[in-house]
C-alpha cells in the first residue's frame, strides 16, 4: 500500500522540503516519496527490505528523470544509519514506528520526521499512553485512501539546570518537545508554563512574561518580552 501522491505532496509541504535537504524514506516501497522529494531538488535515499521493490523504485526514478538525486538501498531500517538525514519519512506498521521512536528522538535537533497515518504516541504495551505528540497533523478531506499526515521536529535536549547571566537558575524537565520546570531566584521559585521546544528553539512563560531562547548544547541565548520591552539574556548549562 503506497502513500497516495496527494498525501506525499502534503507531507513534503509540511516539512518544507527543498534542495537543501537530504530526505531518507524508511521503507521506500515503489520510491514515490523519494522521487517526489527529488522533484523538489532534495537529495533522497530510499531504504527498503524487498530487493524487487528496490529495483522497481530505481526504474521509477529513472523514468522520472531523478536518478542523479536519488539512491535506493536494500537494507533493514533497523540496521541502516539514517542520522545524516534532515528529513525522515515513513509509512510503517505502528509497532515499527514505535520501535524507531528512541532512534528518531536522538537524531540531530531540527530534523523533521514525517509519517503517513501512524504517530508516535503510546507504548508497545499501552497504545493510549502519552508519547511523542506530532507538532502538526493534517487530514485530507476528501480522503484519497490514506489521508493523515504527521510532522515532528526533533527537539534539542534541555533537561537539567541552567544558570542565567543574572544569577537566576532555570531547572528544566523534558518529555519529548514538552518542557516544564521552575525559575529560581534568591530562595523563591516560580513555575514556568507552556514550555515547548521546536527544534533548537525553546519557548516558555515565567512571571507572566514570554521567554524565547535558541539552545546550542551548553548555552542559551534568549529574549524576554515583546516589542519595545524586549530584553536579552543568556544562560549556561550547570554541569
Residue nearest ligand SAM by beta-carbon distance: 27
Q: Which part of the chain contacts ligand SAM (CB under 6 A), choosing from 21-29, 162-170, 200-208, 225-233?
A: 21-29
Instruction: Give the number of residues in contact with ligand SAM, rule: CB under 6 A.
Output: 21
Q: Which is nearer to ligand SAM, 2 or 41 (CB)?
A: 2
For the bound state, the minimum distance from the C-beta of residue 3 to ligand SAM, rounded and expressed in Å, comes to: 3
Q: Is 17 in the site for ligand SAM (CB under 6 A)?
A: no
Q: Which part of the chain contacts ligand SAM (CB under 6 A), choosing from 14-22, 47-55, 165-173, 182-190?
A: 47-55
Alpha-carbon distance 14 to 151, whole Å?
7
User: 135 near 113, Cβ under 8 Å?
Assistant: no
User: 169 near 162, Cβ under 8 Å?
Assistant: yes
Q: Which is nearer to ligand SAM, 92 or 180 (CB)?
A: 92
Q: Which part of the chain contacts ligand SAM (CB under 6 A), choosing from 44-52, 134-142, 152-160, 191-199?
A: 44-52
| Binding residues for ligand SAM restricted to 51-110, rule: CB under 6 A | 53, 76-78, 91-92, 96
For the bound state, the minimum distance from the C-beta of residue 23 to ligand SAM, rounded and expressed in Å, comes to: 11
Q: Which is nearer to ligand SAM, 10 or 174 (CB)?
A: 10
Q: Which is nearer to ligand SAM, 88 or 213 (CB)?
A: 88
Q: Which is nearer to ligand SAM, 53 or 206 (CB)?
A: 53
Alpha-carbon distance 181 to 223, whole Å?
18
Instruction: Give the x/- contact pattern for ligand SAM in 214-233, rule: CB under 6 A.
Output: --------------------
Q: Is 35 in the site for ligand SAM (CB under 6 A)?
A: no
Cell numbers for 45: 535515499
Question: Can you give the binding site for ligand SAM, defined by CB under 6 A?
Answer: 1-3, 25, 27-29, 32-33, 47-50, 53, 76-78, 91-92, 96, 116
Amino acid at each position: 500500500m503506497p502513500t497516495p501522491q496527494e498525501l506525499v505532496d502534503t507531507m513534503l509541504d509540511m516539512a518544507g522540503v527543498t534542495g537543501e535537504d537530504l530526505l531518507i524514506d524508511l521503507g521506500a516501497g515503489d520510491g514515490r516519496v523519494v522521487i517526489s522529494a527529488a522533484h523538489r531538488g532534495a537529495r533522497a535515499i530510499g531504504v527498503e527490505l524487498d530487493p524487487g521493490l528496490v529495483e522497481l523504485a530505481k526504474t521509477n526514478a529513472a523514468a522520472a528523470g531523478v536518478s542523479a538525486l536519488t539512491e535506493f538501498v536494500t537494507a533493514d531500517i533497523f540496521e541502516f544509519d539514517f542520522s545524516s538525514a534532515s528529513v525522515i519519512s515513513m509509512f510503517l506498521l505502528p509497532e515499527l514506528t514505535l520501535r524507531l521512536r528512541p532512534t528518531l528522538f536522538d537524531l540531530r535537533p531540527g530534523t523533521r520526521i514525517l509519517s503517513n497515518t501512524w504517530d508516535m504516541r503510546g507504548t508497545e504495551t499501552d497504545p493510549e499512553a502519552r508519547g511523542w505528540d506530532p507538532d502538526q497533523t493534517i487530514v485530507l478531506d476528501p480522503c484519497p485512501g490514506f489521508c493523515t499526515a504527521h510532522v515532528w521536529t526533533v527537539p534539542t535536549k534541555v533537561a537539567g539546570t541552567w544558570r542565567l547571566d543574572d544569577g537566576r537558575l532555570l531547572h528544566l524537565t523534558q518529555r519529548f518537545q514538552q518542557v516544564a520546570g521552575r525559575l529560581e531566584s534568591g530562595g523563591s521559585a516560580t513555575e514556568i508554563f507552556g514550555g515547548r521546544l521546536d527544534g533548537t528553539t525553546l519557548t516558555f512563560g515565567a512571571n507572566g512574561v514570554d521567554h524565547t531562547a535558541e539552545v546550542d548544547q551548553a548555552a542559551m541565548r534568549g529574549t524576554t518580552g515583546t516589542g519595545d520591552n524586549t530584553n536579552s539574556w543568556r544562560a549556561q548549562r550547570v554541569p
